[in-house]
Structure 1
Amino acid sequence: MTDRPIEDYAVIGDTRTTALVARDGAIDWLCWPRHDSPAVFLRLLDAEAGGCCGLALEGLRTTTRRYWPGTNILETTFVTATGRLRLVDAMPLHPLARVPDEGPDGAAEGRILRRLTCEEGAVAGRLHVRPTFDYARAAAGLAAQPDGSVLCRGGGEALRVAASVPLGLAGDRVEAPFSLAAGEEAWLVLAHGEAGGLDLAGAEASLDATRAYWEAWSGRCTYAGPHREAVLRSALVLKLLTHAPSGGIIAAATTSLPEAVPGTRNYDYRYVWMRDASFTVTAFVNLGYVREAAEFLRFLRDADATLGRDLRLMYGLGGAVPAEEILGHLRGWRGVGPVRIGNAAADQHQYDIYGEFLVALHAFLDAVGYEPPVRVNDHLPEVLENLTGHVIRCRHAPDHGLWELRAEPRQILHTKAMLWVALDRAARIAEAIPVAAPERVAAWRRAAAGIRAEYHAHGWSERAQAYTQAYGSDDLDAAVLRTVLFGAFDAASPRVAATLAAVSEGLGAGDLVYRYRNHDGLPADEATFTACAFWRVGCLALAGRTREAAPLFARLLGRGNDLGLFAEEIDAETGGQRGNVPQGFTHMAVINHAVRLAEAARGGEEAATEEPCAAGTAREA
């Protein structure tokens, strides 16, 4: 048994958790009942020790797959020596009769539906379920039930298995052999918990309702420009990364997929990064999904009762981020360890998050015509005062920066520029909604001007002929490109043009871009960072170089897998996906830069500015 390429995986989910489905039909990753719960299936991270829900077919020849249009329902077609089989995978999520002002917009069942249909000839094979509870640290007990289902228990968790074909037990796995002729079908249902609903008779209706939910959600997308299918797929991915009960948005669905091979940069991304979630909010707003943006503000309201006095780098979905822990019994994907759960970066200082959040808040408020819901408006004066106070107090402090460098903190240019962005967006909000005294807004503007003058003066390197990673440094950093997208630098200035050229030359790998190449306190290297390549597209577009930007964007889209999914990074030599998947950071960049290029193609004046357009389009990052 070998580890599959990262790009072999598709994702399904129900806005509570996700599952990764390999090209061969195996579910190799599933955390239940929540994104950050202990994994039940984790063959993704250990081909031997990690369990899965697998599919074996006799005489398999070819495999193709797709998502049903406008949905997160996966369809995989297998051609064997004797026939053709279609597998449909979904996690049920049904429309609500009435969507509440806050909270989940769909009813999840805590189930996985797998429908096998023989479309031609005859097909024989076997489904099997091997749960490895608590990251394969807990033994699984399997017990056949009177109704023909099987109950699996371990590590304080349980799942139930039912099928329309007879189930059998074989050691630590449940097996479901089948033989289907043309027109025949079989179902396998997995349900979380001892009392999970199996309901084979209602599986078809549940699948239909799930399709209706996703098609209705996709129908609300307001984007109608080029590459709409890629944009909508990215939006559907971001929706899967939400946690509907809390409103949180996780960074990625997995943990410990390596950023390079060989390497040691394997981290747990199943938490709510303030930065990543804020980016996602702006992407949702760009596509007309304002409710999703409001739901993230709900998450922050509930997770941080200090109204911005204690804004943190990251949050857990149900409390604090767990301490970082290495699971030494797991070998890691392709043997590249360590496998980590929890995240030590939760304790870092990264002051750019104030700018990230205020960008998202500004985008949301613009989208609702500066008439926010009472639950937002009631606390807006305190939130702005607290956040701007943070910015002014920490403006001279060093930090670890956007990339969470595990070295000594420095005066990071990206951070300084985002502090300017924070004060700028706070002032814009207060000028549109009278929630701060004019003298306070004037003070924010003065402080912002001082910060901007400082990073322009100290962030430039004559030797590198570029704005660089930190004051007094010659190290190139693709994060500087983001600051241009937020308006912290003039995209048309000669120094920005020189910086773009230097980054393309010094950090570029063809169409791809590395984050940086200097030592960062960590061993081993990493692959190219996919979002950085999209930032280069944005800078080219803002500089009026759309004839370069548009084909580059199209080529980058081609770097995704066959379903349009992206991990965090791409290996420049092999083209293989690297890092956790699917990665919200990357899919957010796909959305925002498609919007930016569409505006540039229309020739509107807004294409050269970060000011939102009348429809609320934020285009940030």
Structure 2
Amino acid sequence: MSTLDQAIIGNCGFAALVDRRAEVTWACMPRFDGDPVFCSLLGPPSAGEGQGRFAIELDRLAYSEQSYERNTAIVVTRLYDDSGGAVEVTDFAPRFEQYGRTFRPMMIVRQLRRLSGSPLVRVVTRPLFDYGRTVPTITQGSNHIRYVGSSQVLRLTTDASVTAVVDETPFILEDDLTFVLGPDETLPNSARDTGSAFHEQTCTYWQEWVRSLAIPFEWQEAVIRAAITLKLNTFEDTGAVIAAATSSIPEAPGTGRNWDYRYCWLRDSYFVINALNRLGATKTMEHYVRFIINTTATNGEHGLRPVYRINGRDDLEEHFAEGLAGYRGMGPVRVGNQAYRQQQNDVYGSAILATAHLFFDERLRRRGDEALFRRLEALGEQAVAVYREPDAGPWEFRGFEKVHTFSAAICWAAARALGSIAEKLGYAERAAYWRGRAREMAEVIGREAWNEERQSYTASFGGRDLDASLMLLYEWGFLQADDPRLASTVRAVEQELRRGDFLFRYVHEDDFGTPDTAFVTCAFWYVDALAAVGREEEARAIFERLLACRNHVGLLSEDIDPATGELWGNFPQTYSMVGLINSAMRLSRRWEEAL
């Protein structure tokens, strides 16, 4: 049975998941939103049981262990049989600096080593094409195997017996073996030499990258793993950051809440940029801001889309991948995301707040200028025009629209930010204009979103329902920490939405019924809000328990079952890892206090 006990490897061009038995269960090639050539996570495929796998199988497997090499994206899986035999599988996607640029090929390297005994192993390499529908044609040479499809060809180069790999014949492992899967290109050196050199250089890259991070005194391991995962969800070629590496992992069993998250949501940009800024990952941050600027530059008559492909295009028409059965057989498997057609008014505020860093962060190579400010003003005018118009909201309701407080508040925050940018640039008249607009918007939001009977802000204007995004009113500066309305809103939200240590997004019925699982990042928003209202010890205790909900290698998905702690939803989820980073940064004792 598939689970989210998976590790992620990648190189900021593509990613793959490796389970605790050393099987590559998911890998989209040639990039994040490409064809899942390994797809057993969402199997069985129509091509047949056991297809879509890349596995190292140990005969009479008794147990396994899996971990990352320290401060890297290199995962090590150890398999033990019941008679003293053991093997070690090291998996990674090469990434390192070479010839003045970053080398990040579409390539998975698997290194197989005997640890003890006489382990009997079998190598299973069964890629599929066309979302599980097409079995490739296989050709072979003396040291390689080619998997030929209509749209791409993969080549596996190895120093193992090619016959044993093609025929999936078990053999006693005696010598170290290397498997290099990638484009249909000849390696200049042997598989072993290539794998060894790439491993050493990739390890050095990640450890040096981690050394450059600004991290808190407490919870360093968790923050480092979250930071690496955030980096792995970055498509470096354009700067886009995907929401997750997978598609159609259900938010809860049998609900049909299966979405394709291999794309870039503008809403996420505010949170991701803030996390990258706090980490000091300025180069990644600059690339993401560049993607946002390029995307907003093509803002057409329909306005900004909520979600874009990693190449910046918005052709995300949704359809079902009929060749895949779905996670644990729970289809459908979706390709594309119909949310791109929704009206989501928060996108203007998100884009402005993310881009605002260019005007204030002195570390950045590219600084904000008058031309960029004028473009942001145009987005600001759109934010002012729509902030009290109905939309699908942050939770992307498909069946109804309301005037969502989240959307209105982030548009307000953007207007206020434009006032600060104008002042920074010395444009006093424009600063006064935007601050005036912000005041007007704040008055409307304060009047329309506050429910006197509930003593709380509500999810929508004039409504009674609450949602977890209200925890962000402090984050954006709409409410101050000492404002009694913040404390009372926190109390109302926790009474209605809290289940154990988790927070539901909302509990009212939506297009698919009543939610069954909690949204992981909402718990981190709640932790931050608790700290803001002076309940810091409670916030720290909940945060510690949330860390214990990560999987065995420190990763989080989108959703969690409050009763069982099982992870659900697409994986690993950028939103969740960013929430962890931001909460850790806020709650940690300062280095000066701890040393």
Give the alignment's TM-score, normalised by structure 2: 0.94
Contact 2:248 2:332 (C-alpha < 8 Å) held by counterparts: yes
2:152 pairs, out of 140, 154, 157, with 157
1:189 pairs, out of 159, 175, 180, with 180
Change (3 A) 1:227 1:461: same
Number of the residue aligned with 1:4: 2
Number of the residue aligned with 2:449: 459
Number of the residue aligned with 2:329: 335
Secondary structure of 1:334's partner? coil
Number of the residue aligned with 1:75: 76
Number of the residue aligned with 1:55: 56
Looking at structure 2, the residues matched to 601 and 194 of structure 1 have their Cα atoms a distance apart, in angstroms, of 49
Contact 1:189 1:198 (C-alpha < 8 Å) held by counterparts: no
1:551 pairs, out of 541, 556, 568, with 541
Number of the residue aligned with 1:431: 423
- Quote how far apart the aligned CAs of 1:312 are: 2.7
Secondary structure of 2:305's partner? coil
Looking at structure 1, the residues matched to 167 and 508 of structure 2 have their Cα atoms a distance apart, in angstroms, of 50
Equivalent position amino acid for 2:76 in 1: E
Secondary structure of 2:562's partner? coil
Number of the residue aligned with 2:12: 15
Looking at structure 2, the residues matched to 397 and 137 of structure 1 have their Cα atoms a distance apart, in angstroms, of 43
- Quote how far apart the aligned CAs of 1:59 are: 2.3
Change (3 A) 1:409 1:29: same
1:114 and 2:110 equivalent?
Answer: yes
Gaps of 5+ in 2: none
Looking at structure 1, the residues matched to 272 and 107 of structure 2 have their Cα atoms a distance apart, in angstroms, of 26
- Deviation per residue, 1:452-472 (Å, 9 max, x gap): 111112212234332111112
Q: Number of matched residues?
A: 585
- Quote how far apart the aligned CAs of 1:169 are: 7.4
Number of the residue aligned with 2:90: 88
Equivalent position amino acid for 1:143 in 2: T
- Quote how far apart the aligned CAs of 1:554 are: 0.9
Where do residues 96-107 of structure 1 align in structure 2 (5 Å cutoff)? 96-98=98-100, 106-107=102-103
Looking at structure 2, the residues matched to 260 and 243 of structure 1 have their Cα atoms a distance apart, in angstroms, of 28
Gaps of 5+ in 1: 100-105, 604-621
Looking at structure 1, the residues matched to 589 and 450 of structure 2 have their Cα atoms a distance apart, in angstroms, of 30
Equivalent position amino acid for 1:583 in 2: Q
Number of the residue aligned with 2:500: 510
Number of the residue aligned with 2:137: 141
Number of the residue aligned with 1:209: 201
2:525 pairs, out of 508, 529, 535, with 535
Where do residues 120-519 of structure 1 align in structure 2 (5 Å cutoff)? 120-145=116-141, 147-168=142-163, 175=168, 177-181=170-174, 184-193=175-184, 199-200=190-191, 201-306=193-298, 310-318=303-311, 319-368=313-362, 373=366, 376-377=368-369, 379-434=371-426, 437-519=427-509
Looking at structure 2, the residues matched to 540 and 550 of structure 1 have their Cα atoms a distance apart, in angstroms, of 9
Change (3 A) 1:510 1:166: same
Change (3 A) 1:397 1:217: same
Contact 2:421 2:431 (C-alpha < 8 Å) held by counterparts: no
Number of the residue aligned with 1:31: 28
Change (3 A) 1:386 1:56: same
- Quote how far apart the aligned CAs of 1:378 are: 5.9
Change (3 A) 1:271 1:29: same
Contact 1:167 1:176 (C-alpha < 8 Å) held by counterparts: no
Contact 2:517 2:559 (C-alpha < 8 Å) held by counterparts: yes
- Quote how far apart the aligned CAs of 1:155 are: 3.4
Change (3 A) 1:230 1:297: same
Provide runs of 4+ in structure 1 moved above 6 Å. Answer: 599-603
Change (3 A) 1:205 1:265: same
Looking at structure 2, the residues matched to 377 and 197 of structure 1 have their Cα atoms a distance apart, in angstroms, of 46
Secondary structure of 1:133's partner? coil
Change (3 A) 1:365 1:225: farther
Equivalent position amino acid for 1:162 in 2: T
Contact 1:356 1:422 (C-alpha < 8 Å) held by counterparts: yes
- Deviation per residue, 1:484-530 (Å, 9 max, x gap): 22211223322221221222121111001110011222346341000
Equivalent position amino acid for 2:562 in 1: A
Equivalent position amino acid for 2:109 in 1: L
Contact 2:390 2:403 (C-alpha < 8 Å) held by counterparts: yes
Looking at structure 1, the residues matched to 591 and 390 of structure 2 have their Cα atoms a distance apart, in angstroms, of 40
Change (3 A) 1:235 1:53: same
- Quote how far apart the aligned CAs of 1:388 are: 1.4
- Deviation per residue, 1:217-267 (Å, 9 max, x gap): 111101142101111111100111111111111111010000001211100
Looking at structure 1, the residues matched to 134 and 317 of structure 2 have their Cα atoms a distance apart, in angstroms, of 20
Secondary structure of 1:63's partner? strand
Secondary structure of 2:339's partner? helix
- Deviation per residue, 1:151-187 (Å, 9 max, x gap): 00113111111222112378xx663644224xx3111
Looking at structure 2, the residues matched to 174 and 242 of structure 1 have their Cα atoms a distance apart, in angstroms, of 37
- Deviation per residue, 1:84-118 (Å, 9 max, x gap): 2111000111223535xxxxxx2112211111111
Secondary structure of 1:386's partner? helix
Secondary structure of 2:584's partner? helix
Looking at structure 1, the residues matched to 442 and 590 of structure 2 have their Cα atoms a distance apart, in angstroms, of 27
Moved more, 357-366 or 199-208: 357-366
Moved more, 542-551 or 562-571: 542-551
Equivalent position amino acid for 2:289 in 1: L
Looking at structure 2, the residues matched to 573 and 115 of structure 1 have their Cα atoms a distance apart, in angstroms, of 39
- Deviation per residue, 1:46-103 (Å, 9 max, x gap): 135450101211222221111111110001112222222111000111223535xxxx
- Quote how far apart the aligned CAs of 1:361 are: 2.2
Equivalent position amino acid for 1:78 in 2: L
Change (3 A) 1:428 1:169: same
Number of the residue aligned with 2:570: 580
- Deviation per residue, 1:552-576 (Å, 9 max, x gap): 1111111110111000000112211
Equivalent position amino acid for 1:166 in 2: S
- Quote how far apart the aligned CAs of 1:120 are: 2.1
Number of the residue aligned with 1:610: none
Contact 2:78 2:86 (C-alpha < 8 Å) held by counterparts: yes
Secondary structure of 1:333's partner? coil
Moved more, 294-303 or 58-67: 294-303
Secondary structure of 2:44's partner? coil
Contact 1:271 1:316 (C-alpha < 8 Å) held by counterparts: yes
